[in-house]
Amino acid sequence: MEELKRKAELLLEQCESVVLTSIDENGFPRPVPMSKVKTEGITTIWFATGTYSEKTEHFRVNPKAGVCFQKEINSVVLTGYIEIVTDEAEKKALWQDWFIEHFPGGVNDPTYCVLKFTAKRATYWLDFQFVKGEV
């Protein structure tokens, strides 16, 4: 299992964006492509978004989330929870220059927040091997 997890980590490193899924007000999944800001293996992934975004509103009500990423035939699906991070120090540490396109007020823009995804379970399809398990 550790070898699969390491392969999944390498796959995630190669992906500029991933799909993040929230649960909408009607109980349906809402997948959206997102640029990852930072990762800790496959267990923790950070995203920048707006405090006003539809996904942020969904996560306020229901923190359950899914993330998937793939390249060629390999893919990984993660399920877990989102935390909406508004801590100023953490937001500053994760700020990237290109965010200014979305948050013209810079790192102190009141509409800028960070989503922190923590994975609990994984489904791996790596090198023709299909495995489900805890992260």
User: Whole-prediction pTM value?
Assistant: 0.95
- The answer to whether the beta carbons of residues 30 and 22 sit under 8 Å apart is yes
Helix (H), strand (E), coil (C) string for 90-114: HHHHHCCHHHHHCCCCHHHCCCEEE
Q: What is the residue extent of each domain of the chain?
A: 2-134
**Token reading at 116:** 């922190």
pLDDT digits (tens), the chain, 135 positions: 889 999 999 999 999 999 999 999 999 999 999 999 999 999 999 999 999 999 999 999 999 999 999 999 999 999 999 999 989 999 999 999 999 999 999 999 999 999 999 999 999 999 999 999 999
| CATH hierarchy code of domain 2-134 | 2.30.110.10
CB 76 within 8 A of CB 111: no
